[in-house]
Amino acid sequence: MSLSSRYFQRFLSYLGVIAMTTGFSPYALSDSPVSGSDLYNNGKFHNASGEQAAGLSSLPKIIWRTLGQKSPDASPSEDIPVVPLDISSLDKLKGTLAVKLGHSSVLLRLDEGFWLVDPVFSERASPVQWAGPKRFHEPPITLEALPDIEGVIISHDHYDHLDKNTIQQLDKQVKQFYVPLGLAKVMQNWGIAADKITELDWWESASHGSVKLVATPAQHFSGRGLLDRNSTLWASWVIMTDNERLFYSGDTGYFDGFKTIGERYGPFDLTFIETGAYHQEWANIHMFPEEGVQAHIDLQGKWMVPVHNGTFDLALHAWYEPLQRSVDESRKRNQKVLTPKFGEIIQLQNPEPKEPWW
């Protein structure tokens, strides 16, 4: 790749870094209704800690770092291994199952019903599909091949977690969407029926058959456009059946909320913990892998799956670094970590650690 091409690719990828750290995009999609939440005042949601993401004044520094300080391994030089997923193969397995589909997208089978967490199937995590962070790999299964879905869980509105095209295509096969406050109006604008969307504030819960969900705190921010910064809430999620408890962090900086969640709802059989797109400049809204392991410990987790990595170039570090650092820190702390290839099946009754594939 020529020097000019490399810098052009970095210019496109910085759009993703900006979206993850400042909420900037040239596209404002909707305003949010006023909420009665304690987290909502002066027209915006706020972190309980008062922490804020970098603002537009940080753009020059972020662009400079992205253009000049990115790791040469920010994107893989070879194809990432992906295991094709056939839903019929899941029918042969018992108990709770989990499949990492890409980035933070996870397919779950809970009490024989299927669930999706932050599903993103588009080629780019971007407001447009001609620019912005492009996938390193195809999903292990197509949207068309997915079974009927009991519920879709969304953590927040950033493009690498809430994908309009995916949501619209999934609509016909999804029974219910579970989202943080403010996102119902956004999704209704996309054509999703109001009665198919359940909005929750932090610590509010909802039941869906035998599955119970609790929207729990996270330390992050929201925004899909220049004018809608923090107009919708962000959350982590507790996912419970009669027999197991799972936790999904969404995007978050490390904070004392993990310990509180662990005390209220732990121990957890499986935690999906954000471990990518970190940098000291935005450490308050994205965790370093070592902090992710500490969060897992705070949550009283048994097995940890590092997510928010391996699919999009959204940071300055090497693409494989979040996985390696998570494994290294887990070994130091005597914690159990699972790093499956995309498409590999995790059986919660008998998890099998995998050899590093990166």
* Domains along the chain with CATH numbers: 3-27+49-347 (3.60.15.10)
pLDDT digit string (tens) for 113-158?
A: 999 999 999 999 998 888 889 999 999 999 999 999 999 999 999 9
Q: Is the pLDDT of residue 18 over 70?
A: no
* Higher per-residue confidence, 54 vs 6: 54
Question: Which has the higher per-residue pLDDT, 24 or 104?
Answer: 104
Answer whether residue 17 shows pLDDT above 70.
no
pLDDT at 82: 98
Quick: pLDDT tens for 190-216.
999 999 999 999 999 999 999 999 999
Q: Cα(94)–Cα(25) distance, rounded to whole angstroms?
A: 44
Query: Which of 238, 280, 281 is closest to 261 using CA atoms?
Result: 238
Which pair of structure tokens corresponds to residue 33? 């209704």
Is residue 60 reached through a cis peptide bond, with omega within 30 degrees of 0 on the bond before it? no
**pTM exceeding the 0.95 threshold for the entire prediction:** no
pLDDT band at 354 (very low <50, low <70, confident <90, very high): confident
DSSP 8-state symbol, 12: H
Residues 9-33 have a mean pLDDT of 50
pLDDT band at 233 (very low <50, low <70, confident <90, very high): very high
pLDDT in tens, 308-320: 999 999 989 999 9
